[in-house]
Amino acid sequence: MITLSEFVYAKQHQFAYATGELSALLSSIATAARFINREISKAGLSDILGFNESSNIQGEAQTKLDVLANERFKKALISRGEVAGIASEEDDDLVIFEGGRSQTSKYVVLIDPLDGSSNIDVNVPVGTIFSIYRRVTPIGQNIAIDDFLQPGNKQVAAGYVLYGSSTLLVYTTGQGVHGFTYEPSLGMFCLSNENMSFPEFGNTYSINEGNYLKFPDGVKKYMKYCQEIDKETHRPYNSRYIGSLVADFHRNILKGGIFMYPNTASYPDGKLRLLYECNPVAFIAEQAGAKATDGFQRILDIQPTSLHERSPFFVGTPSMVDQLMHFLTS
């Protein structure tokens, strides 16, 4: 078996800044993921289910595991010298690492520590999403907000961890998408899915249909298209929605399909976070041969304006995204 560290080291020559730092950084993320995996696996036996009394900057109630995962990833990343600071969906502002690292370290990390955390209480798969950028402020100065407000096309790496029937870490550095399954007896992530890619055709659409009345007309028309009978285009499509972006996306990358989270009357700018969810998933999707858009433009070309900016999000098999765009723009 090939471990995550061995694989990243072997592929370093493909990475624009191959100095061994990326391997160490991904190792830190894997270390935190192993801890989260352990806590999730015994969630029903320990006092980590349910909600905290706190809320994040978006006003959303935080689960106990949200807080635990956020602190664990901070601790893992600060223990290494490669990261100058992080921005997290669970924190109001960016976190600058002290001790000189803000001035000397080359990378910043943006992270959604526990995507779909409300599913924990009912034993449904959840995930972690991360995004890595090379800082834009000069070495020797403290990092600043501009290091984090970079468009998604500037990412040097991105990935997710899916905590489900097995725990899987998937990442890309712009040279394909690779998946590693956690082997508990070894305590390591081992290569299980090399060069992952979306199938050419998909027949699954993922959306919270309970919000149908609040969706834009183009999305409603596309949903009706998905439900129509047409043997030539293999419709109707299957409707599958887990409610965890990582889980829904991972199924689609293996089976083909489209994930949709449009803007609604309640969330006119969309609900998913551009920096912590849309950008990293879009980067992975494009490397796996898929498309990602906000309904008007490529996700990776959007210039962020704030840490917690939201966006509509549509990602999946290119032909399905193209068909959706036809309804959105016609």
Strand partners, 190: 3, 181
Q: Would the annotation count 114 as a binding residue?
A: yes
Local structure of 60: helix, strand or coil: coil
Contact 177, 170 (CB under 8 A): yes
Among 12, 137, 132, 30, residue whose Cα is nearest residue 79: 30
Q: Is 208 annotated as a binding residue?
A: yes
> Would you say 209 is a known binding-site residue?
no
Q: Is 309 annotated as a binding residue?
A: no
Q: Which residues contact 213 (CB under 8 A, 6 or more apart)?
A: none
Measured between alpha carbons, how far is 193 from 144 in angstroms, rounded to an integer? 36
Distance between alpha carbon 19 and the CA centroid of its chain, in Å? 25
With contact defined as beta carbons under 8 Å apart, do 82 and 106 qualify?
Answer: yes
Q: Structure tokens of 150?
A: 């970079």
DSSP conformation class of 235 = B
116 in a known ligand binding site = yes
CB 292 within 8 A of CB 322: no
Side chain identity at residue 200, one-letter code: E
Residue 117 marked ligand-binding: yes
| Residue 144: exposure state from Cβ atoms within 10 A (0-12, 13-18, ≥19) | middle
Count Cβ atoms below 10 Å from residue 329 Cβ, excluding itself: 9
- Residue 118 is labelled as binding a ligand: yes
Six token digits for residue 141? 């100065």
* Total Cβ atoms within 10 A of residue 272: 19
Strand ranges for the chain from DSSP E: 51-55, 61-63, 83-88, 95-96, 107-115, 126-134, 155-163, 167-172, 177-183, 188-193, 204-206, 238-239, 258-261, 272-273, 291-293, 310-311, 313-316
Consult the annotation and say whether 115 binds a ligand. Answer: yes
Q: Is 6 marked as binding a ligand?
A: no
Which residue ranges are tagged as binding site?
Answer: 89, 112, 114-118, 208, 241, 271, 277
Which residue ranges are tagged as binding site for substrate?
Answer: 115-118, 208, 241, 271
Which residue ranges are tagged as binding site for Mg(2+)?
Answer: 89, 112, 114-115, 277
